[in-house]
Structure 1
Amino acid sequence: MSPTPPSATGSAERLGLKPGMIVMESGYDDDVDEQLRDDIAEHTGEDLLADDTDEVVDVVLLWFRDGDGDLADTLVDSISPLADDGYIWLLTPKRGRDDFVEPSDIAEAASIAGLSQTSITTVGQDWSAARLVGRRSSGAKR
């Protein structure tokens, strides 16, 4: 008996995406996971926005490879279009793949950018994803 194939939007669901969410994509290149991109668009019902958008977005989907520049700077740039409760999915090549990014480098860059990593998951055959959220300031509660 063969296993049940994953739903077309399984990866998008695993990333916590919901219908109607606005997702901006950054770092697109010819090595990205096109199936994941299609899954996200299908699941949210929205096209992925380019990183030059002026819209406020719920999620930034950031493709990043070793050699793409300074990760902390890239993360800081990715924060500005986010809604107050928005978050970043940092997608990096899996260990053993070309341009792999060390987890310690991700943690350091996230800290510099004022972000916290809340979860890690695998998406597709070649990519890992780290969910990064803004730190809540202690003075924000009233």
Structure 2
Amino acid sequence: MSTSADAPSSSSPAEALAFSSGQIVQEFGYDDDVDLDLRDAIEDVLGDELEDEDCQEIVDGVIMWWREGEGDLTDAMVDTLTTLAAGAPVWVLTPKAGRDGHVAPADIQESAGTAGLRVMSTVSLAQDWTGTRLASRTN
């Protein structure tokens, strides 16, 4: 018997992030190694472009591309909270295990806890990227 957990999914990786049309999503950590197809798919779902790190509007979610060795992950997580609406998710996108820049799940867990966030789920988003959904501890 098949369950939804092991049934093939017809949704796109962008849909796994659970954003919807009209939402404002801020992007941190953009670099030349990001998955452009995933970015385009997220923008298609939103119906608009991702906001950059300098956005001052209250946002409905954050995606943060993060690679090992980029600095202090806890500080970066705290920075994403500046304009984040209450209850909105922060998605930390990291290279998958075995890829350059991979971040250990324990490091994400520890940094999230220190930043006042908690790990909610982890999903495979693209060939080279994994997404970890964080939520504030007050949710």
TM-score, structure 1 as length reference: 0.89
Question: In the aligned structure 2, how far is the partner of 1:80 from the partner of 1:133?
Answer: 14
| Structure 1 residue runs without a partner (length 5+) | 138-142
Question: In the aligned structure 2, how far is the partner of 1:80 from the partner of 1:104?
Answer: 24
Match of 1:100 among 102, 110, 116: 102
For 1:64-83, list aligned pairs within 5 A.
64-83=66-85
Identity of paired residues, percent?
Answer: 47
Match of 1:57 among 56, 59, 62: 59
Q: Which residue of 1 aligns with 2:92?
A: 90
Q: Is residue 117 from structure 1 mapped to residue 113 from structure 2 by the alignment? A: no
Deviations 1:22-51 (A, max 9, x none): 110000000000001000111110110001
Question: In the aligned structure 2, how far is the partner of 1:17 from the partner of 1:122?
Answer: 16
User: One-letter code of the match for 2:18?
Assistant: G
Secondary structure at 1:75's aligned position in 2?
A: helix
| Structure 2 residue runs without a partner (length 5+) | 1-7
Question: In the aligned structure 2, how far is the partner of 1:120 from the partner of 1:46?
Answer: 25
Give the 4+ runs in structure 1 shifted more than 6 A. Answer: none
Question: In the aligned structure 2, how far is the partner of 1:26 from the partner of 1:65?
Answer: 12
Greater Rg over alpha carbons, structure: 1
Secondary structure at 1:136's aligned position in 2?
A: coil
TM-score, structure 2 as length reference: 0.91
Question: In the aligned structure 2, how far is the partner of 1:85 from the partner of 1:50?
Answer: 20
Question: In the aligned structure 2, how far is the partner of 1:115 from the partner of 1:46?
Answer: 27
Report how far residue 81 of structure 1 moved: 1.1
